[in-house]
């Protein structure tokens, strides 16, 4: 099954390679930019409607779980690896009140019991004691304790459906903090934000400080670090704490009342040292764990409160709900660590930067959709790019940066899919047009074959010979006039590239374009000048030119720049490819070539044939002299498509059947000479080129097997069995025994490429 998937993926790569350089619009970037802007506007609008917020917050939680900010591991570092996790905060001690502690106290905590704990902790020289316990009756709390200035107590405004609970009556307002925590109620009730301050109201819990913030500030004030509100920002010492707004990060329209910051969690397993109430009462706590620390006391018993959801709730090794005392400890630890250790606060970009970030990934998606035209390949490449996006966001998160992940990922996918769908649709339209042109071409070829096979009278034959002489004279005249002929009032003929039969090829300068760039002019003269023949020839020329115009958008086919008729002679104006023909790289011009050369040559030709055959176009005359090695980038370029040559009489290198078929002896298979070329006919010609490179023998000189008709060549070459099997299948005598597509040959060549390269190195 895996091999099947890999084969499909390999085929997708091959097919995409043949398509990726085509284009139906010279301004392809306009399509990408327009699509990216539209997708960006759409995704941004959806984001503003908060439809993506839940996904983005889940991604935020995942990155929070994957990395310990300010400290360390990669988001993919596993537990137990050599990379250490962030160590617990050394300034904190958490005293928990468990179900077992409550059971030992008869189910209720009296003021007397709590006072005993406070006295012990003060005797151990705790710097600040934060008591996160509130009960309806707590009249004697801290009674008998001298100087309770460093004891912080809590009240409850009205949160989580619970009635508000006033603070202990014997504590000054400066030592009271509200216990309320902020969760994302509209999404998933997860606590991701820390509320530090808020405007006091007329409730019984009349304080502007949160419990955790007040505890941390009290701790820092004893170190000479005081809070300050300057320029609408909250400072602790020199450290500023930017206020969270309603659209900070990936939040949209969140309730940002009060002074809130994003909560930068420590891993729950590495938050702070923890002891139980019973251990404190039984003197089982080392005083050094208490000295100079911020001690936070609170309940973990679910019978008192079930706890709250945090980003760690989905983790299998963590409880679903976290007791409030630990969340307060997280907030206090963040404030202390930020001021004293430089531990980073979570930061985020302004909306303008996020919009550019979103557009950038939409552009990336558009480029991928344009360059990668196959859905399977787009999934593979797009998936890889999405992993890269995740790594970038995770990398920023390691530096405490929360940048959007879901919106750019969605933009990437939508842009890529939109551009790919559009280009695929346009390509299919183009393919349908070419296929219709091919059908017309085939009809014209059949009519032309009928005309060429008609028996002509003596007078017609004499006329043809006279015309033949006239055309030969015209060739001579054209050669003499080279240099002063301005064809079509535009193309300045500079030299003759070649002549054969009744056609010629020139180099010319296009005087209507800036710089007068060089182009190729191909003159095609019909074999006959009678009206019927010219009408059919003209139709063949037009359909062939339209096909070449469409195919010429591939980088391995010269672009057709223009086509026209002058005085019953037909002209094709094509892009000039500087280089040399492949014939100069093959025997007998050169010595025998290596297997590696042959494989690369076959792949280079077959890649463009895969594109041509996809449009049901048959080249009909694949041979070394019709393939140019570009001097600019070494690519192989396929020239001289053969159907239009049917209107010309045979040249010396064509067979006696060339009046009803086109092809070159040795490279053209039997069915092509019988007037029935197929896609596999081009594959036969490419295979013969490979055999020529390995044996040094011209294809027409190879001996066929008298029983099968297949050429005999292996005894004249040093070749691996793998490559020989492929070549044999390419040049089978009967077309049904050959490869039926260029893509299938490419798959087998790619499969043996590494093997051949390895053997050549060794």
Q: Which residues sit in the known binding site for ATP?
A: 523
Measured in whole angstroms, the distance separating CA 225 from the mean position of its chain's CA atoms is 49
Q: Are 165 and 134 in contact (CB under 8 A)?
A: yes
Residues 6+ positions from 752 with CB-CB distance below 8 Å: 599, 720, 722, 723, 726
The overall longest dimension of the chain from CA atoms, in Å, is 138
Backbone CA torsion sign across 729, 732, 738, 741:
positive
Q: Does 588 sit behind a cis peptide bond, omega within 30 degrees of 0 on the bond before it? A: yes
CA–CA gap between residue 657 and residue 660 (Å, rounded): 6
CB atoms within 10 A of CB 477: 10
Query: Catalytic annotation on 621?
Result: yes
Q: Residue 703: which H helix or E strand, with range?
A: strand 703-704
Name the phi and psi angles at 503, rounded to 5: -135, 160
Q: How far is CA 701 from CA 478, 642, 691, in A?
A: 36, 23, 12
Distance CA 435, CA 289 (A): 84
The bridge status of strand 491-500 relative to strand 486-487 is antiparallel
Q: Are 661 and 672 in contact (CB under 8 A)?
A: yes
Residue showing tokens 């992940």:
405
Give 66-132 as a DSSP string.
H--TTT---TTPPTTSSSPPPPPPTTEEEEEE-HHHHHHTTTS--HHHHHHHHHHHHHTT-SEEEEE
Query: Any idea what DSSP says for residue 347?
Result: B
Question: Considering Cα of 505, then 506, then 509, then 511, what sign does the dihedral take?
Answer: negative
- Complete DSSP assignment for 282-345: TT-S-GGGTTT-EEEEEE--TTT---BB-TTTT-TTS-SSB-HHHHHHHHHHHHHHHHHH-PPP
SS3 498: strand
HSE of 278 in the Cβ direction (CA atoms, 13 Å)? 9
Q: Report d(CA 509, CA 406) in Å as an integer.
A: 54
CA–CA dist 304, 102 (Å, integer): 10
Q: Of 61, 89, 510, 621, which one is the catalytic site residue?
A: 621
Structure tokens at 488: 């079509």
CB 449 within 8 A of CB 660: yes
DSSP helix/strand/coil, 209? strand
Tell me which residue of 620, 646, 643 sits closest to 453, measured CA to CA. 646
Q: How far apart are CA 713 and CA 709, in angstroms?
A: 12
Find the helix packing angle between 28-48 and 351-371, rounded to 10°. 140
Residues with Cβ within 8 Å of 692's Cβ and at least 6 positions away in sequence, in order, are: 586, 587, 624, 698, 699
Distance spanning both ends of the chain, measured CA to CA: 33
- The Cα angle at residue 181 between residues 300 and 217, in degrees rounded to 5: 95
The two counts, helices (H) then strands (E), for the chain are: 18, 22
Instruction: Give the active site residues.
Output: 621
């Amino acid at each position: 099954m895996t091999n099947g998937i890999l084969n499909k993926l390999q085929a997708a790569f091959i097919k995409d390679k043949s398509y990726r350089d085509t284009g139906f619009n010279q301004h392809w970037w306009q399509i990408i930019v327009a699509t990216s802007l539209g997708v960006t506007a759409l995704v941004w609008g959806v984001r503003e409607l908060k439809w993506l917020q839940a996904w983005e917050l889940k991604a935020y939680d995942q990155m929070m779980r994957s990395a310990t900010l300010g400290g360390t591991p990669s988001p993919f570092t596993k537990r137990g690896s050599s990379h250490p996790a962030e160590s617990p905060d050394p300034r904190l001690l958490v005293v928990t009140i468990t179900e077992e502690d409550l059971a030992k106290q008869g189910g209720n905590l009296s003021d007397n019991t709590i006072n005993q704990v406070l006295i012990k902790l003060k005797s151990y020289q705790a710097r600040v004691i934060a008591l996160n316990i509130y009960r309806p009756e707590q009249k004697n709390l801290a009674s008998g304790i001298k100087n309770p200035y460093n004891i912080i107590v809590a009240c409850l405004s009205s949160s989580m459906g619970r009635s508000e609970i006033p603070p202990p009556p014997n504590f000054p307002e400066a030592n009271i903090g509200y216990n309320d925590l902020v969760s994302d109620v509209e999404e998933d009730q997860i606590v991701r934000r820390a509320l530090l301050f808020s405007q006091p109201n007329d409730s019984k819990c009349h304080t502007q400080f949160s419990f955790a913030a007040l505890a941390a500030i009290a701790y820092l004030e004893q170190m000479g670090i005081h809070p300050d509100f300057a320029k609408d920002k909250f400072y602790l010492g020199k450290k500023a704490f930017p206020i969270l707004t309603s659209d900070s990060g990936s939040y949209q329209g969140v309730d940002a009342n009060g002074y809130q910051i994003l909560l930068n969690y420590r891993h729950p397993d590495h938050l702070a040292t923890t002891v139980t109430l019973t251990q404190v009462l039984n003197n089982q706590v080392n005083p050094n764990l208490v000295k100079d620390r911020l001690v936070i006391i609170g309940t973990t018993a679910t019978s008192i409160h079930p706890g709250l959801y945090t980003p760690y709730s989905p983790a299998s090794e963590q409880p679903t709900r976290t007791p409030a005392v630990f969340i307060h400890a997280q907030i206090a630890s963040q404030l202390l660590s930020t001021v004293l250790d430089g531990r980073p606060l979570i930061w985020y970009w302004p909306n303008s930067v996020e919009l550019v970030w979103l557009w950038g990934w939409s552009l990336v998606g558009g480029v991928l959709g344009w360059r990668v035209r196959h859905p399977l390949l787009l999934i593979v490449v797009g998936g890889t790019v999405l992993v890269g996006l995740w790594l970038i966001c995770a990398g920023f998160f390691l530096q405490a940066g929360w940048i959007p992940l879901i919106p750019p990922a969605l933009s990437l996918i939508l842009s890529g899919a939109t551009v790919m769908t559009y280009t695929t649709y346009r390509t299919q339209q183009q393919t349908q047009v070419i296929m219709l042109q091919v059908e017309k071409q085939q009809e014209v070829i059949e009519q032309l074959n009928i005309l060429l096979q008609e028996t002509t009278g003596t007078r017609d034959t004499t006329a043809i010979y006279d015309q033949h002489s006239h055309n030969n004279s015209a060739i001579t005249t054209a050669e003499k006039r080279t240099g002063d002929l301005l064809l079509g009032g535009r193309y300045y003929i500079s030299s003759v590239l070649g002549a054969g039969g009744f056609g010629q090829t020139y180099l010319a300068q296009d005087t209507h374009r800036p710089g007068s760039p060089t182009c190729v002019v191909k003159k095609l003269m019909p074999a006959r000048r009678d009206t019927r023949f010219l009408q059919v020839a003209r139709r063949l020329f037009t359909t062939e030119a339209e096909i070449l115009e469409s195919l010429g958008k591939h980088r391995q086919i010269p672009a057709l720049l223009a086509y026209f008729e002058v005085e019953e002679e037909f002209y094709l104006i094509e892009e000039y490819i500087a280089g040399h023909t492949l014939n100069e790289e093959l025997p007998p011009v050169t010595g025998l070539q290596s297997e590696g050369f042959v494989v690369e040559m076959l792949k280079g030709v077959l890649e463009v044939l895969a594109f041509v055959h996809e449009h049901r176009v048959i080249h009909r005359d694949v041979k070394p002299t019709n393939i140019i090695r570009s001097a600019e980038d070494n690519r192989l370029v396929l020239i001289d498509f053969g159907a239009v040559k049917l209107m010309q009489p045979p040249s010396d290198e064509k067979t006696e059947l060339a009046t009803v078929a086109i092809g070159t002896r040795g490279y053209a298979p039997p069915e092509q000479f019988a007037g029935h070329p197929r896609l596999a006919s081009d594959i036969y010609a490419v295979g013969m080129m490979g055999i020529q490179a390995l044996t040094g023998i011209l294809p027409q000189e190879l001996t066929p097997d008298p029983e099968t008709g297949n050429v005999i060549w292996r005894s004249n070459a040093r070749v691996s069995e793998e490559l020989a099997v492929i070549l044999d299948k390419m040049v089978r005598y009967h077309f049904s025994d050959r490869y039926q597509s260029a893509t299938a040959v490419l798959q087998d060549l790619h499969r043996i490429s590494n093997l051949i390269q390895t053997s050549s190195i060794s």
